[in-house]
Chains A and B, each alone.
Chain A
């Protein structure tokens, strides 16, 4: 069965600093996609960044970037120049090419200190 593991239930970062959230996954699919979603308190989940497994280049979206290590099945999220608005639950998710659904980790609660 596919699993996604986020080993950090909570993380804290100082405003303007950099933080890295960890994620490992286990899939038997050869074609798959990885995602980081952000869920602010009482607000809907939004996509932060996505990575296609066949692409070697790490995805980047403004202050958000990933470190995709395919052999190690690791997919960490780096947030640079952290802002107060980055405070939220962050979920790592995996989707196999032959599957319809996302498999989510348990999430990491990120706090940003002013």
Chain B
């Protein structure tokens, strides 16, 4: 297992377009997290899954954002009608249990022009 992988690594999109990111967690990890990180800031929590169930969503996750984790494996994060303020690094992490460390992917850097 090579760890948490995210695709794509970079995405440039025009304002108003929809984008979708994918995260493949470490295979035996049942928890999967999405974070957003803007320049000079720490990661901010967006949402997390335990297996296929989405258990918590941050108020940062507006109606334009949706995340899924079908079958409790990989996860997708979709942003509809992108805005310039959505430009950020989107990080995915996974953990075995709630009290174990989270392993992070390399992130997807989104630029909205």
A residues at B contact (CB < 8 Å): 4, 33, 35, 37, 43-47, 50, 52, 91, 93, 95, 97, 99-107
Q: Kindly list chain B residues whose C-beta atoms are within 8 Å of the C-beta of A50.
A: 101
The complex places the Cα of A100 from the Cα of B33 at a distance, in Å, of: 9
Q: What size tier do the contact residues of chain B reach?
A: 20 to 34
- Chain A residues touching B, majority SS: strand
Interface centre among B31, B50, B101 (most CB of A within 10 A): B101
CB–CB A43/B106 < 8 A: yes
The complex places the Cα of A93 from the Cα of B44 at a distance, in Å, of: 11
How many contacts between A and B, using CB within 8 angstroms?
Answer: 57
Q: Kindly list chain B residues whose C-beta atoms are within 8 Å of the C-beta of A52.
A: 99
The complex places the Cα of A95 from the Cα of B93 at a distance, in Å, of: 14
CB–CB A45/B48 < 8 A: no
B residues at A contact (CB < 8 Å): 4, 31, 33, 35, 40-45, 48, 50, 55-56, 58, 91, 93, 98-99, 101-107
CB–CB A106/B33 < 8 A: no
Other-chain residue from A97, A101, A105 in contact with B33 (beta carbon distance below 8 A): A101
Closest to A42 in B: B106
Interface centre among A45, A100, A101, A106 (most CB of B within 10 A): A101
